[in-house]
Chain A
Amino acid sequence: MGKFVQFFATRWGIVTVGAVIGILAQLLQKWGNPANMGICVACFERDMAGALGLHRAAVVQYLRPEIIGFVLGSMIAAYMFKEFRARAGSAPIVRFVLGVFAMIGALVFLGCPWRAVLRLAGGDGNAILGILGLTAGIWIGVLFLKGGFDLGRSTRTYASVGWLFPLVMLGFLALLLVFPQAVGEDKSGVLFYSLKGPGSMHAPLLVSLGIGLLVGFLAQRSRFCTMGAIRDFVLFGQTHLLSGFTALVVTAFLANLALGQFHPGFAGQPVAHTMGLWNFGGMVLAGLAFALAGGCPGRQLFLAGEGDGDAAVFVMGMITGAGFAHNLGLASSTEGVGAHGVAAVVIGMLVCLFIGFTMRKQSA
Chain B
Amino acid sequence: MSSIVDARGLSCPQPVLMTVNAIKKVGRGEITVLVDTDTSKENVTRAAASKGWALEGVEPDGSGYRVTLAKE
**Partner-B contacts on A (CB < 8 A):** 9, 81, 83, 85, 87, 90, 145, 150-151, 153-156, 223, 225, 228, 231-232, 235-236, 238, 240, 294-295, 308, 310
A235 touches B10 (CB 8 A): no
The reply to whether A231 and B42 form a contact with Cβ atoms under 8 Å apart is: no
Query: A153 CA to B42 CA in the complex, in Å?
Result: 19
CB distance from B28 to the nearest CB of A (A): 20
Contact B42 A85 (CB under 8 A): no
**B4 interfacial contact with A, CB 8 Å:** no
- Tell me the complex Cα distance, A154–B37, Å: 12
Determine the chain A residues whose CB is within 8 A of the CB of B72 once the complex forms.
none
Q: Is the CB of B20 within 8 A of A228?
A: no
Task: State the interface size on chain B (CB cutoff 8 A).
Answer: 20
> Can you name the residue of chain A whose Cβ is closest to the Cβ of B40?
A223
Q: Does B47 contact A (CB under 8 A)?
A: yes
The chain A residue with its CB closest to the CB of B43 is A223
Residues of B within 8 A of A240 (CB): 46
Query: Which residue of chain A has the shortest Cβ distance to B17 in the bound complex?
Result: A145
Q: Does B30 contact A (CB under 8 A)?
A: no
Select one of B12, B36, B37 contacting A228, CB under 8 A: B12
Chain B residues, CB < 8 A from A236: 13, 16, 20, 47, 50
Q: Which of A231, A238, A295 is packed against the most chain B CB atoms within 10 Å?
A: A238
Given the contacts A156-B63, A236-B20, A238-B50, A90 and B13 also touching, CB distance less than 8 Å: no
23 contacts between A and B (CB under 8 A): A9-B42, A9-B46, A81-B38, A83-B37, A87-B9, A87-B36, A90-B9, A151-B11, A153-B8, A153-B10, A154-B9, A154-B11, A156-B36, A232-B13, A235-B13, A235-B17, A236-B47, A236-B50, A238-B47, A294-B11, A294-B12, A295-B11, A310-B11
B39 within 8 A of A: yes
Residue B3 at the A interface, CB < 8 A?
no
Please give, as numbers and ranges, the residues of chain A lying within 8 Å of B42 by CB-CB distance: 9, 223
Q: B14 in the interface, Cβ–Cβ < 8 Å?
A: yes
A336 CB → nearest B CB, Å: 35
Annotate B1-40 by CB proximity to A: 1 below 8 A, 0 otherwise. Answer: 0000000111111101100100000000000000011110
Instruction: Name the residue on B nearest A295 (C-beta).
Output: B12
Nearest residue (CB) in A for B46 is: A240
Question: A11: nearest residue on chain B (CB-CB)?
Answer: B46
**Residue in A85, A150, A223, A308 whose beta carbon sits within 8 Å of that of B10 in the complex:** A150
Contact A85 B63 (CB under 8 A): yes
Closest Cβ–Cβ distance, residue A356 to chain B (whole Å): 15
Complex-state Cα separation, A324 to B1, whole angstroms: 54
Chain B residues, CB < 8 A from A83:
37-38
CB contacts (< 8 Å) of B37 on chain A: these are 83, 85
Chain B contacts of A85 at CB under 8 A? Answer: 36-37, 63
Bound state CA distance, A181 and B11, in angstroms? 39
Contacts of B17 in A (CB 8 A): 145, 235
A residues within 8 A CB of B36? 85, 87, 156
Residue of A nearest to B8 (CB): A153
What 5 additional pairs, Cβ within 8 angstroms, besides A87-B36, A151-B11? A83-B38, A153-B8, A153-B9, A154-B9, A223-B39
The 9 closest A-B pairs by CB, nearest first: A153-B9, A294-B11, A154-B9, A294-B12, A9-B42, A83-B38, A223-B39, A156-B63, A153-B10
A48-B6 Cα distance, complex, nearest whole Å: 39
Interface centre among B8, B12, B14, B16 (most CB of A within 10 A): B12
Contacts of B47 in A (CB 8 A): 236, 238
